[in-house]
Amino acid sequence: MSWSRAGFSALILFFFFVVQESAISKIDFPISGFSLYLCVLLGLMALEDRFGAIAMGFIGGLILDLSPSSDSPFGKWALILTLVGYLFSRNRESIGDFTERPIAFVLFVSAGATATLLIFLILGVILGENNGAVITNLQTVVGNGIWTLLFSSALLPGLAALRNYTLTSRERL
Amino acid sequence: MAAGGNNRSRLLLVILLVTSLFLITLDLRGVSITKNSRSATQSLLAPVQRGVSDFFSPVGNFFSDIKNFGKTKAELKDLKSENAKLRKKVIFNKDTNGQLNKLKGVLDLAGRGGYKVVSARVIGKGSSSTFSQTITIDAGTNDGVKKDMTVMGELGLVGVVKSATSTSAIVLLMNDPTFRIGVRIARSQSVGVLMGEGDNTYTLQLLDPSGSIEVNDVLLSLGSDNNRPFVPGLPVGYVKSVKNTSATLTQEASVKSYSNLGSLGVVSVIIRVPNGGPKDALIPQPIPTPTTTIYVTQSPTPEATN
Degrees (nearest 5) of the Cα angle B146, B150, B155?
Answer: 140
- Assigned domain for A115 exists: yes
Q: Residues A61, A49: contact at Cβ < 8 Å?
A: no
pLDDT band at B67 (very low <50, low <70, confident <90, very high): low
Burial-class residue B242 by CB neighbours within 10 Å (0-12, 13-18, 19+).
middle
| Residues 6 or more apart in contact with residue A11 via CB below 8 angstroms | none
Burial-class residue B86 by CB neighbours within 10 Å (0-12, 13-18, 19+).
exposed
Q: Closest residue of B to A15, CA-based?
A: B45
Q: Measure the CA–CA gap between B93 and A24, rounded to whole angstroms.
A: 23
List the domain range (segments joined by +) for residue A31.
Answer: 3-168
Look at phi and psi of residue B287 and say left if phi exceeds 0, alpha if psi is from -120 to 50, else beta. beta
- On the question of pLDDT at A60 being above 90, the answer is yes
Instruction: Select from B48, B63, B163 the Cβ nearest to the Cβ of A30.
Output: B63
Asked if A102 has any chain B CB less than 8 Å from its own CB, the reply is no
Cβ–Cβ of B16/A54 closer than 8 Å? yes
> What is residue B129's DSSP assignment?
G
**What is the DSSP secondary-structure string of B242-298?**
EE--TTSSS-EEEEEESS-GGG--EEEEEEE--TT--TTTTPPPPPPPP-------P
Q: How many CB pairs under 8 A join A and B?
A: 181
How many domains would you assign to chain A?
1
- On the question of pLDDT at A119 being above 60, the answer is yes
pLDDT band at A173 (very low <50, low <70, confident <90, very high): low
Highest mean pLDDT among A33-47, A120-134, B62-76, B79-93: A33-47
Partners of residue B95 in chain A, C-beta under 8 Å: none
- Assigned domain for A48 exists: yes
Residue B252 is predicted with a pLDDT of 87
Q: Where are the beta strands (DSSP E) in A22-158?
A: none
Q: Closest residue of A to B55, CA-based?
A: A23
Task: Fill in the amino acid letter for B107.
Answer: L
Partners of residue A6 in chain B, C-beta under 8 Å: none
Residue B71 is predicted with a pLDDT of 63
CATH of the domain at A83: 1.10.1760
B98-123 pLDDT, tens digit per residue, is 667 777 777 777 777 778 889 898 88
Residue B1 is predicted with a pLDDT of 41
CA-based nearest residue to B175, from B216, B211, B133: B133
Instruction: Select from A30, A68, A136 the Cβ nearest to the Cβ of B38.
Output: A68
Residue B60 is predicted with a pLDDT of 62
Q: Measure the CA–CA gap between B13 and B17, rounded to whole angstroms.
A: 6
Residues 117-146 of chain A whose Cβ lies under 8 A from any Cβ of chain B? 117, 120-121, 124, 127, 130-133, 135-137, 140, 143-144
- On the question of pLDDT at B261 being above 70, the answer is yes
Partners of residue B124 in chain A, C-beta under 8 Å: 21-22, 25-26
- On the question of pLDDT at B132 being above 70, the answer is yes
Residue B169 is predicted with a pLDDT of 92
Q: Measure the CA–CA gap between A89 and B305, rounded to whole angstroms.
A: 100
CA-based nearest residue to A16, from A64, A88, A49, A53: A64
For chain B, count helices (H), then strands (E).
6, 12
Instruction: Select from B132, B178, B262 the Cβ nearest to the Cβ of A69.
Output: B132
- Name beta bridge partners: B235: B220
**What is the DSSP secondary-structure string of A139-155?**
HHHHHHHHHHHHHHHHH
- In angstroms, what separates the C-alpha of A162 from chain B's closest C-alpha? 23
Domain covering B73-283, topology: Thrombin, subunit H (2.40.10)
| Residues 6 or more apart in contact with residue A29 via CB below 8 angstroms | A143, A147, B63, B67
- Assigned domain for A173 exists: no
Task: Report yes or no on whether pTM surpasses 0.80.
Answer: no
- Peptide bond between residue B229 and the one before it cis (omega within 30 degrees of 0): yes
Strands B180-185 and B169-173, sheet pairing: unpaired
B141 vs B248, residue with greater confidence: B141
Q: Residues A1, A51: contact at Cβ < 8 Å?
A: yes
Q: Half-sphere exposure of B265 toward its Cβ, with a 13 Å CA cutoff?
A: 19
Q: Closest residue of A to B36, CA-based?
A: A66
Residue B209 is predicted with a pLDDT of 77
Cβ–Cβ of A21/B9 closer than 8 Å? no
Partners of residue B60 in chain A, C-beta under 8 Å: 26-28
For chain A, give the mean pLDDT. Answer: 85
The mean pLDDT value for B12-35 works out to 86
CA-based nearest residue to B152, from B268, B238, B232, B277: B268
Residue B305 is predicted with a pLDDT of 53
Could you give the C-alpha distances from A172 to A13, A90, A167, in angstroms and in order? Answer: 22, 21, 6
Q: Closest residue of A to B42, CA-based?
A: A68
Cβ–Cβ of B9/A27 closer than 8 Å? no
Strands B116-125 and B252-257, sheet pairing: unpaired
- On the question of pLDDT at B264 being above 50, the answer is yes
Cβ–Cβ of A133/B28 closer than 8 Å? no
- On the question of pLDDT at B283 being above 50, the answer is yes
| Residues 6 or more apart in contact with residue B278 via CB below 8 angstroms | B112, B113, B114, B115, B232, B233, B234
- On the question of pLDDT at B191 being above 80, the answer is yes
- Assigned domain for A14 exists: yes
pLDDT band at B3 (very low <50, low <70, confident <90, very high): low
Asked if A18 has any chain B CB less than 8 Å from its own CB, the reply is yes
> What is residue B158's DSSP assignment?
E
Instruction: Select from A38, A69, A82 the Cβ nearest to the Cβ of B13.
Output: A82
Cβ–Cβ of B24/A50 closer than 8 Å? no
Q: Where are the beta strands (DSSP E) in chain B?
A: 116-125, 134-137, 150-152, 157-164, 169-173, 180-185, 191-196, 202-206, 218-221, 235-243, 252-257, 266-272
Instruction: Select from B45, B134, B177 the Cβ nearest to the Cβ of A132.
Output: B177
Q: Measure the CA–CA gap between A105 and A107, rounded to whole angstroms.
A: 6
Q: Closest residue of A to B265, CA-based?
A: A26
For residue B187, count other CB atoms closer than 10 A to its CB. Answer: 15
Residue A34 is predicted with a pLDDT of 86
- On the question of pLDDT at B304 being above 60, the answer is no
